[in-house]
């Protein structure tokens, strides 16, 4: 009697799936992990946004900010469709508190995407430079920062050459959306 049992219902070997595209092999980081969110602040919310969003808010606590919680959840609903596209880490993953992390989520089929940028708690750097990926160099894009509320229009070629992100305070984050115009 064998020591293991095959759970496959077929006797043919399954082919390995194809891995197209960006750094994650064409797979989105969405649904890769579940990160429980206890605090309704922008930094924590942005940190868990790209995983399977699992809120652990204690909504019956006397100090729970319902208005902020509703705003954050509404923003997630606005951009969640962008999490299933291409994912590009614009800076390496790090837990080093003196560095930044920045990721781009791009939907070429919709001509839009978003950037999540994090300035960690001990980072002395107010700005970082990156290069966006997957854009149409000949097109223009409307860029909007959630943190500042400001919008601007930039050529795709310029965004792929240099994209500067500024976060004034330590342990802050920004969700930046872009759309081809």
Q: Quote the CA–CA distance of 120 and 124 in Å, as a whole number.
A: 9
Q: What pLDDT score does 37 carry?
A: 56
Q: Quote the CA–CA distance of 134 and 26 in Å, as a whole number.
A: 13
Q: What pLDDT score does 82 carry?
A: 94
What percentage of the chain has pLDDT greater than the value 70?
76
Query: Is CATH 2.60.40.1180 correct for 34-180?
Result: yes
Q: Is 170 exposed, middle or buried (0-12, 13-18, 19+ CB in 10 A)?
A: middle
CB atoms within 10 A of CB 81: 12
Looking at per-residue pLDDT, the higher value among 146 and 17 belongs to 146
Q: Quote the CA–CA distance of 31 and 22 in Å, as a whole number.
A: 17
CA torsion sign, 126 to 129 to 134 to 139? positive
Looking at per-residue pLDDT, the higher value among 74 and 160 belongs to 160
Q: What pLDDT score does 38 carry?
A: 61
pLDDT digit string, tens, across residues 94-144: 889 999 999 999 999 999 999 999 999 999 999 999 999 999 999 999 999
Q: Quote the CA–CA distance of 172 and 100 in Å, as a whole number.
A: 10
Question: φ and ψ at 90, to 5 degrees?
Answer: -80, -25
Q: What pLDDT score does 51 carry?
A: 64
Alpha helices in the chain (DSSP H): 42-49, 66-79, 156-161
pLDDT digit string, tens, across residues 21-60: 444 444 444 444 444 556 667 787 777 777 666 677 777 7
Angle formed at CA 40 by CA 75 and CA 90, multiple of 5 degrees: 60
Where along the chain do its domains lie?
34-180
Q: Quote the CA–CA distance of 57 and 121 in Å, as a whole number.
A: 22
pLDDT digit string, tens, across residues 53-92: 667 777 777 888 888 888 888 898 999 999 888 999 999 8
Is a pLDDT exceeding 90 seen at residue 2?
Answer: no
What percentage of the chain has pLDDT greater than the value 90?
53
| pTM across the whole model | 0.76
């Amino acid at each position: 009697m064998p020591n293991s049992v095959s759970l496959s219902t077929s006797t043919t070997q399954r082919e390995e799936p194809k891995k197209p595209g960006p750094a994650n092999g064409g797979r989105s980081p969405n649904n890769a992990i579940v990160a429980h969110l206890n605090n309704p602040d922008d930094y924590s919310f942005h940190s868990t946004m790209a995983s399977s969003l699992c809120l652990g808010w204690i909504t019956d606590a006397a100090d729970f900010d319902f208005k902020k919680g509703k705003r954050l959840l509404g923003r997630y609903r606005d951009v969640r469709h962008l999490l299933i596209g291409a994912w590009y880490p614009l800076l390496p993953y790090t837990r080093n508190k003196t560095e930044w992390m920045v990721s781009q989520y791009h939907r070429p089929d919709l001509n839009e995407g978003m950037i999540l940028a994090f300035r960690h708690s001990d980072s002395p750097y107010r700005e970082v430079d990156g290069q966006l990926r997957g854009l149409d160099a000949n097109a223009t894009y409307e860029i909007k920062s959630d943190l500042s509320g400001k919008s601007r229009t930039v050529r795709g070629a310029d965004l792929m050459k240099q994209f500067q992100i500024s976060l004034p305070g330590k342990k802050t984050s920004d969700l930046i959306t872009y759309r081809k115009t």
